[in-house]
Amino acid sequence: MLRIVPIYPELLSIYADRGNVRVLAQRARWRGLPVEVVPLGLGEELDPAAADVILIGGGQDRDQALVAEALIAQTPALRSAIADGVPVLAVCGGFQLLGHRYVDQSGRETPGTGLVDLETHAGTRRIIGNVLVDVRLGGEVHTMVGFENHAGRTRLGAGVTPFGRPKVGGGNDGDGLAEGCRVDRVIGTYVHGPLLPKNPWLADQLLSWACQHRGLDPVLETLDDRLEAAAAETAMRIARTESR
């Protein structure tokens, strides 16, 4: 049984992040894989042995501050799961909480988990718009499509690799040089809207890693993704038009 664990979805699910959970579960079911969605609520303890893929969504600043202490308490369990090969997808606020801290415009700090060497400071303007990001994953280069809406300026530590390079969009720091982060099977990104419906290749990579963790065949049956490809192509066209 594959177990998908969204963390605190009642608070960290802004910008339709629940769609990422639904896509992972449905793409597993279409392949006949047994799957269960097991949300982690506030006050509950994460069992690292019971998770095969972990999702941390985005939230408004007040929601991030509310869950930060609880999420930090889960850090040992998260480290154990990551060390055991469980993939983690962290989006927007979840991406920021992977790091050491988030500092808002007033200078107030919200501590993070420190799972990844990065930190975020609020900028003076929001970075908003459709994005296109080149991502190398599984030996191939993909174009990740989606939407960014954040005021954070995230700086990666010296040993942390960006998840991709923006072709359209501001990325982590508004300069268009880097988007997200990747450390082994931990992926952080500002791209949502939600992310996985338009990027099924990423959903399938997470599922493949999850299957490998659970001892199942990580080679997934090919699905008919014509609708998903059409949605991605439309998003690419809009992003390119807006960037002119």
pLDDT band at 17 (very low <50, low <70, confident <90, very high): confident
61-106 pLDDT tens trace: 777 778 999 999 999 999 999 999 999 999 999 999 999 999 999 9
* Catalytic annotation present for 192: yes
Sort residue 15 into left (φ over 0), alpha (ψ -120 to 50) or beta: left
The structure's pTM equals 0.96
Residue 24 has a pLDDT of 98
Residue 60 has a pLDDT of 74
25-61 pLDDT tens trace: 999 999 999 999 999 999 999 999 999 999 999 877 7
The CATH number given to whatever domain includes residue 173 is 3.40.50.880
The better pLDDT of the pair 53, 18 is held by 53
Count of domains for the chain: 1
160-198 pLDDT tens trace: 999 999 999 999 999 999 999 999 999 999 999 899 999
Q: Tokens representing 213?
A: 């963790």
* Catalytic annotation present for 150: no
Residue 242 has a pLDDT of 85
Residue 13 has a pLDDT of 81
Pairing mode, if any, of strands 53-56 and 2-7? parallel
One of 92, 181, 211, 213 is an active-site residue; which one?
Answer: 92
Q: Residue 108 and residue 62: Cα distance in Å, rounded?
A: 12
One of 181, 192, 211, 213 is an active-site residue; which one?
Answer: 192
98-136 pLDDT tens trace: 999 999 999 999 999 999 999 999 999 999 999 999 999
194-212 pLDDT tens trace: 999 999 999 999 999 999 9
Contact status, residue 34 vs residue 166, Cβ threshold 8 Å: no
Domain holding 124, by residue range, is: 2-243
